[in-house]
Amino acid sequence: MIDKVGSSVTNSQMHVGYIVAERLRAPKNPVILCHGLFGYDRIGPQSVPFLQLKYWRGIYDALQDLGCDVHIARVGSVSPIKTRAHQLTSYIDRTTPGKSVNLIAHSMGGLDCRYMVTHISPKSFRIGSITTVATPHCGSSFMDWCRDALGLGKLQRYVQHYADDSIATSILNTTSSTLCDIDNDRSWSPTQSLSSQVSAKKSSSQLSKPRSFKSKQQSDSVSKTIHFLESRDISSDFPSCSYKPVAKSHPIIRAIFSPMDAPAFTNLTRAYCAAFNQATPDDPNIYYASYAAVADVSKLAPLHFSHQIINRLEGANDGLVSLKSAQWGEFMGAVDCDHWDLVPPKVRGLTSAITGKRFDAIGLYLRMATELADRGL
């Protein structure tokens, strides 16, 4: 059942009515807004505000008007989860030291938050809640397709020199997936194979120092898993689809898309997220909530192709993330919109122009704030 909180409205300012109709109120603790893949805080000249493109435009102002102490984090737009999580930690440490904060994260931002809680465990501030919005907790089959058909997010391009013990253990227990991190987006050579980098020495980094494998047996097991991944015919992942992984039969496709590749793409595949979830248990002292989106995407909409891929393999989805994958912690329901309707205003305008639907994302985030306030957060 789809909960149409903040659903389609005829006026983009209708969110104002929610304040009166639903007794919306601000949580007592600061709210940190965490963006997703390709995200940002603002883009454009500081001296010319009307030329700036703001990821959280309207949402940030509405939360402030509600009385929220709200902050917008900025992390690497296509960096791996680990890098983004450390950047997020540094941002919160600078802006709200010593406080308890509520994290509201769109898309990939939810994985950053979960990594920060479990693997970084910051001591300079406290995390009261993590609310994720259309986060691919179980990965996305569309990212699998991008990997298999276009060569994006190939594991051998991005691997950490040493793996954390917890992640190494997860790899050993997961024969069909590998969890890998990197410290710097640009420090890897695409000509190196994944297996050749397992025993390489770790370069200097500003991030926390990871631990090495506990034993040679553990390292050898990881190498075997890696060899298995590199030789595996992943076309079997798409048994009901008419297309095949064209990157295998057409290396030129891989060459064309290689400059666009980034470590974040690997982090959003289903195999990666399966291992990530195993290695990243929830903190029982933190409140986890999640929202999903489900849409019947028009054939004219930009997300139609990805929506069809996910619909065949995972079912109902928002064009990038399935309903099932978006659920984590207390599931608060799904809204009737696509993935892009949930935040970026410029893209949202394009989508609504094509579909004729208007979605009130601002009202949705005001409702989230009230849920946190009702819980004393």
Q: Which of 34-48, 143-157, 330-344 is least confident?
A: 34-48
| pTM score over 0.75 | no
Question: Cα(54)–Cα(155) distance, rounded to whole angstroms?
Answer: 32
Question: Cα(314)–Cα(323) distance, rounded to whole angstroms?
Answer: 8
Instruction: Find the mean pLDDT for residues 360-375.
Output: 94
What pLDDT, on the 0 to 100 scale, is given for residue 85? 95
What pLDDT, on the 0 to 100 scale, is given for residue 356? 56
What pLDDT, on the 0 to 100 scale, is given for residue 102? 98
Instruction: At 56, list the tokens.
Output: 């959280």
DSSP 3-state of 76: coil
Question: Cα(39)–Cα(73) distance, rounded to whole angstroms?
Answer: 10
53 vs 168, which has greater pLDDT?
53
Instruction: At 117, list the tokens.
Output: 């809680």
Q: Are 351 and 341 in contact (CB under 8 A)?
A: yes
Question: Cα(241)–Cα(185) distance, rounded to whole angstroms?
Answer: 32
Instruction: At 14, list the tokens.
Output: 């209708």
Instruction: At 195, list the tokens.
Output: 């297996």
Provide DSSP, 278-346: HH-PPPTTSEEEEEEEE----TTSTTHHHHHHHHHHT-SBSSSSBTTTT--SEEEEEEES-GGGGS-HH
pLDDT, tens digit (0-9, with 9 covering 90-100), for 249-291: 356 555 555 556 667 788 999 999 999 999 999 999 999 999 9
Q: 47: how many CB neighbours lie within 10 A of its CB? A: 7
Please report the sign of the dihedral spanned by the C-alpha atoms of residue 41, residue 109, residue 211, residue 151.
Answer: negative
How open is the CA angle 176-177-183, to the nearest 5 degrees? 160
Best CA proximity match to 119, nearest among 62, 171, 181, 72: 181
What pLDDT, on the 0 to 100 scale, is given for residue 255? 55
CATH superfamily for domain 15-139+280-374: Alpha/Beta hydrolase fold, catalytic domain (3.40.50.1820)
Instruction: Please name the helix (run of DSSP H) or strand (run of DSSP E) that holds residue 105, with its range, or none.
Output: strand 100-106
What pLDDT, on the 0 to 100 scale, is given for residue 247? 44
Question: Cα(276)–Cα(178) distance, rounded to whole angstroms?
Answer: 9
Phi, psi of 219 (to 5 degrees): -65, -40
User: Residue 73: exposed, middle, or buried by beta-carbon count in 10 A (0-12, 13-18, 19+)?
Assistant: buried
Percent of the chain exceeding pLDDT 90 equals 42
How open is the CA angle 210-213-215, to the nearest 5 degrees? 155
pLDDT, tens digit (0-9, with 9 covering 90-100), for 328-348: 999 999 999 988 888 855 544
pLDDT, tens digit (0-9, with 9 covering 90-100), for 3-38: 544 443 333 344 444 444 468 999 999 999 999 887
Q: Is a pLDDT exceeding 50 seen at residue 190? A: no
What pLDDT, on the 0 to 100 scale, is given for residue 234? 33
Residues of the chain with CATH 3.40.50.1820: 15-139+280-374
Q: 34: how many CB neighbours lie within 10 A of its CB? A: 33
Instruction: Find the mean pLDDT for residues 146-152.
Output: 81
Q: Is a pLDDT exceeding 50 seen at residue 98? A: yes
Q: Are 30 and 373 in contact (CB under 8 A)?
A: no
